[in-house]
Amino acid sequence: MKKLLLASTAAFALAGTAQAEEIKLGISVGFTGPLESLAPQMAAGAEMAFKEVSDSGLLLGGSTVSGVRADSTCIDAAAATAAVERIVTSDKVKGIVGGMCSGETIASLNNVAIPNGIVMISPSATSPALTTLDANGLFFRTSPSDARQGVVMTEIMQERGIKSVAVTYTNNDYGKGLADSFQAAFEAAGGKVTINAPHEDGKADYSAEVAALAAAGGEVLVVAGYVDQGGSGIIRGALDTGAFDTFEFPDGMVSQALEDKFGAEINGSFGQNPASAGEGRDRYVEMAKAAGFDGTSAFSAESYDAAALIMLAMAKAKSSDPAVYKSEILNIANGTGEVILPGDLKKALEIINAGGSVNYEGATAVTFVNGRESAGSYREIEFKNGKMEVVKYR
């Protein structure tokens, strides 16, 4: 009888081992393109979550998770679609952290993820168009909609006594969506937008665009663009001609690269990007520092949270199949159980495996609205003495 029991136990252990998987998850961000300075920290955030879960040995019978990188380029929808198709069809990823920018995210969703039933959680695609896109329950985002950012920008302007602004935006879904959201909020609050004009990325000379903005006038120039592309070109042209000396920087511009390029030249300028204050963020920044990357970089924390939500949903659903685990993502994000912060993923898996519930707040105080996107808090920044400093969180 004892031998039979031992044999049965050994057989059970072997069966448990056999159930373990090597789960691949995609990371689709712009390793090249107008936000390439942000991409390494975003990927590192997601991969840190993958390692934390793999090291725990508690996901789906000891399954391990590895990342497969895809270069979405941020602005080339065709390139993003091809890159995502490769990791879905060739690498067989079970979910994707991405895309990075709104237009390529929409293209990847419609052309690859939705037809193939793959979950995508974007850490940084903020277009309001993604709020209502019919994605069959496969799309979520840990960043808030730019409809919210437009309101936050207006609040910042009002507190600074700014009554008129010029706006330039990168000519794509992200730029136009944000510029229109801001204009609607700012004018509803009594402000005046003197001009709301697009610019194209990749140009060597922005003198014509800057001249039109200068002619319209305004106390501040809002640059809803990309820090590694046309946004910086517009700023350089405005500074060199004296057209503007104070700028408002939305999330696509808030980066260490902005400080490195302009320093004291943009003292007094200000902006915002999605981020939250508190223990979750502090923990994440320390974990990232120990892992050798900058956790304060825009959308890095949101990438960790996106990865964590996918893996904890798998655990809750007891399956790595996106068709099965997609319905658990909202339950993890807006759960009623124990609060889970960065570094707590092993504890979360223990609770879930024991039949319990968790409330994933993570690094960015995740709470979903509309069933798919972060409600959103923002970090307000200002340039002082050539340095980008945090003013407050909203």
Q: What is the pLDDT of residues 179-197, one digit of tens each?
A: 999 999 999 999 999 999 9
| Segment 312-346, tens digit of pLDDT | 999 999 999 999 999 999 999 999 999 999 999 99
- C-alpha angle 66-70-146 in degrees, rounded to nearest 5: 105
Query: CB within 8 A of 334, min separation 6: which ones?
Result: 359, 367, 368
| pLDDT score for 384 | 97
Q: Which structure tokens are listed for 156?
A: 């910042």
Q: Is residue 22's pLDDT more than 80?
A: yes
| pLDDT score for 9 | 40
| Segment 199-212, tens digit of pLDDT | 999 999 999 999 99
CA-CA distance, 46 to 284, in Å (whole number)?
Answer: 12
CA-CA distance, 51 to 67, in Å (whole number)?
Answer: 9
Q: How far is CA 169 from the centre of its chain?
A: 19
| pLDDT score for 16 | 39
| pLDDT score for 11 | 37
Q: Is residue 121's pLDDT more than 50?
A: yes
Please check whether residue 149 is in contact with residue 377, taking contact to mean a CB–CB distance below 8 angstroms: no
| pLDDT score for 331 | 97
Q: Which residues pair with 25 in a beta bridge?
A: 67
For 355, other C-beta atoms within 10 Å of its C-beta total 6
Per DSSP, the three-state class of 28 is strand
| Segment 97-116, tens digit of pLDDT | 999 999 999 999 999 999 99
Q: Which structure tokens are listed for 9?
A: 């136990």
What do you get for the CA distance between the two ends of the chain, in Å? 66
Q: Is residue 309's pLDDT more than 70?
A: yes
| pLDDT score for 19 | 80
- Residue range 21-35: average pLDDT? 97
Q: Is residue 349's pLDDT more than 90?
A: yes
| pLDDT score for 312 | 98
Entry field: residues in the chain = 394
| pLDDT score for 13 | 38
| pLDDT score for 41 | 98
CA dihedral defined by 175, 178, 180, 181, rounded to 10 degrees? 170
Q: Is residue 246's pLDDT more than 70?
A: yes
Half-sphere exposure of 18 (CA within 13 A, CB side): 6
Query: Which letter, b or e, does each residue of 145-161 get, where b requires 16 or more Cβ atoms within 10 Å of its Cβ?
Result: bbbbbbbbbbbbbeeee
| pLDDT score for 376 | 83
| pLDDT score for 8 | 40
| pLDDT score for 310 | 98
Q: Which residues pair with 164 in a beta bridge?
A: 192
Q: Which of 1-10, 239-248, 267-276 has the lowest mean pLDDT?
A: 1-10
Q: How far is CA 93 from the centre of its chain?
A: 19
Please check whether residue 363 is in contact with residue 343, taking contact to mean a CB–CB distance below 8 angstroms: no
Please check whether residue 276 is in contact with residue 365, taking contact to mean a CB–CB distance below 8 angstroms: yes
| pLDDT score for 3 | 40
Give the pLDDT band of residue 5 (cuts 50, 70, 90).
very low
Per DSSP, the three-state class of 4 is helix
Cα separations in angstroms, 14 against 2, 3, 22, 56: 18, 16, 16, 19
Q: What DSSP string runs through 242-263?
A: TS-S-EEE-TTT-SHHHHHHHG
Query: CB within 8 A of 306, min separation 6: which ones?
Result: 46, 97, 121, 122, 123, 140, 141, 142
pTM over cut 0.85: yes
CA-CA distance, 374 to 389, in Å (whole number)?
Answer: 24
| Segment 41-89, tens digit of pLDDT | 999 999 999 999 999 999 999 999 999 999 999 999 999 999 999 999 9
Cα separations in angstroms, 159 against 146, 153, 162, 178: 20, 10, 8, 20
- For all residues of the chain together, what is the average pLDDT? 94
Q: For 73, phi and psi rounded to 5 degrees? A: 65, -10
